[in-house]
Amino acid sequence: MKNLMNIKSQKQIADHIYEMVLEGDITSSMKTPGQFVHVRVSDSTEHVLRRPISIADINHEQSQFTIVYRAEGAGTRKMSALRTGDSLDILSPLGNGYPLEKNEHVLIVGGGIGVPPLYELSKQLNRLGVKTTHVLGFNSKKDVFYEEKFRTLGETHVATADGSCGTEGFVTDVIGDLKDDFDLFYACGPKVMLKVLSETMDLDGYISLEERMGCGFGVCYACVCETARGDYIKLCTEGPVFRKGEIVL
């Protein structure tokens, strides 16, 4: 469903990372964590391609939702200049999100711009009574965001590759030291992180491969992936969330 949404607020929360709150009726159709929206940045032909951006937070009471994105190309840089009161053309919600399973204790692992959809996921799991532990990985302190928000939902650890914040190293360095018993893991982040997690975690889990998406709309074929069955699928239309082992990473 295409909609013009009102921008309620926008702020920079880390290096090149922006958080935008949008308001509109379309929020009522957003239910599953891990889904994404399609943003059309401009009416000019210059940035006509839509950008897939994950949904970080849904607030049904106020008909608002939050997206967090990295401003790195011309389109998203233009988007980062939008202000309260401007509007944005959004197609939403798209993709298949994370199944919510009623477990006792789950591990949630995010890397970089893969972190945002896990916040809404953790909120919904906490509402179900599921205990969540979070491990968030970034390159450096300047890239860290949402650490405090995740802390309000459960134990939260941060790893940075250069050691400038939290544990020096990768999310797997933190996970190796955790003593808890987990029933399941949920992850979103770079493909290499998902691959290592899938191969080393002695746990079932769900991974989101949203980083691999281009158009996000089934037309560019940038997201085609091989499945463990040996056929090929488009992540944007059949994912981005899959059960561990379903996709060849």
Segment 164 to 223, residues that bind ligand FES, using CB under 6 A = 213-223
Tokens representing residue 81 in the block: 């200049």
Q: How far apart are CA 82 and CA 85, in angstroms?
A: 9
**For ligand FES, which is the closer residue by CB, 234 or 244?**
234
CB 147 within 8 A of CB 136: yes
Least separation in angstroms between CB 224 and ligand FES: 7
How many residues of this chain bind ligand FES (CB under 6 A)?
A: 14
Length of the chain measured in residues: 249
Annotated binding site for [2Fe-2S] cluster: 215, 220, 223, 236
Closest of 166, 102, 123, 112 to residue 34, by C-alpha: 123
When asked if residue 73 is in the footprint of ligand FES (CB under 6 A), the reply is no
Q: How far apart are CA 136 and CA 17, in angstroms?
A: 15
Tokens representing residue 233 in the block: 């699928």
Least separation in angstroms between CB 37 and ligand FES: 14
Annotated binding site: 51-54, 68-70, 75-76, 215, 220, 223, 236
Using a 10 angstrom Cβ sphere, with 0-12 exposed, 13-18 middle and 19 or more buried, the burial of residue 108 is buried
When asked if residue 234 is in the footprint of ligand FES (CB under 6 A), the reply is yes
Among 111-119, 167-175, 201-209, 229-237, the segment contacting ligand FES (CB under 6 A):
229-237
Could you list the residues that contact ligand FES (CB under 6 A)?
213-223, 234-236
